[in-house]
Structure 1
Amino acid sequence: MAGPGSLTCIRCQGTMERGFIIDEGYGKRTVPRWVLGEAETSIWTGLKIRGKDKLEVTTYRCRRCGYLESYA
């Protein structure tokens, strides 16, 4: 993957800066994760994710127009 600051916005060709989006819940802040497969609901935890592949999500934001692009 390209290094920080080397991505160009697909909308306006501005410079993209690396950052992240947080998930907040129950007093805890975490980095979102991408999970392989279809979402399956769970009565106890909201979603079943045990045993599924999970990858941290990195998000880039265009300094010019604010467009967000995420990668896992």
Structure 2
Amino acid sequence: MNALTSALCSGILRITSKRSERGATAVEYGLLVALIAAVIIGVVVTLGTDIKTAFTGVESQLPAGAAPSAAPTP
């Protein structure tokens, strides 16, 4: 009877530990996705401002009325 109880407890512990590992893995992936999203947002905000400044500088150097013409229709 003692061997049966030991085997049963061992099996339950293995099942429980596998479930908790899956849950921990899901949490780790969630945190990783959140970190990647935060980095992407930070890069877009930083580079977005720099790119806007660069395009504004180029626009100010263009001659007045130098808007692109519409593409000709075939």
Q: Tell me, yes or no, whether TM beats 0.5.
A: no
TM-score range, shorter-chain basis? under 0.3
Q: Which structure shows the bigger proportion of residues in strand conformation?
A: 1
Structure of higher CA gyration radius: 2
Give the alignment's TM-score, normalised by structure 2.
0.18
